[in-house]
Amino acid sequence: MGPVIRLLIVDDNPMIRFGLAQIFSTADGFEVAGEAVDGEEAVWQARALRPDVVLMDVSMPKLGGIEATRQILAADPGIRVLILSALDGQSQIDRAHAAGAVGYLHKSVEPEALIDAVRTAYSTGLPPG
């Protein structure tokens, strides 16, 4: 087995955070290092916890996921940010990649595909898929 991938889950919806935490808590090779409810908390948590991968929502109160991604990567370019959003327009995807996200997935993604995408983001830093 390879290294344990430490995750920070960022979403303003508590059910989404809970579901993601359940998926990764039961998958081999992952540790949920923390959770954040908005972009401001995500930036703070990323600095404090230094996760390997951040699963980031786009639309959140206080600070959106795109700007939070930009701030997280400005402080620590070694963190991989993977956007997981209900929004799927090309402009959102382009903005996410411009901010430094390594991938963009729709929230309808199957759990196994999400797990694979996080592993890919961690190991290569390239957009999954």
Residue 43 has pLDDT above 60, yes or no: yes
- Confidence category of residue 1, pLDDT binned at 50, 70, 90: low
Q: How much is the pTM?
A: 0.91
DSSP 28: T
- Residue 85 is predicted with a pLDDT of 87
Q: What is the DSSP code string of 13-24?
A: -HHHHHHHHHHH
Residue 125 has pLDDT above 60, yes or no: no
Domains within the chain, CATH numbers bracketed: 5-124 (3.40.50.2300)
Q: 5-10 and 53-56: which strand pairing?
A: parallel
Task: Please write the tens of the pLDDT for every residue from 9-33.
Answer: 999 999 999 999 999 999 999 999 9
Q: 5-10 and 80-85: which strand pairing?
A: unpaired
**Distance (Å, whole) CA 84 – CA 78:** 19
Q: Mean per-residue pLDDT for 48-74?
A: 94
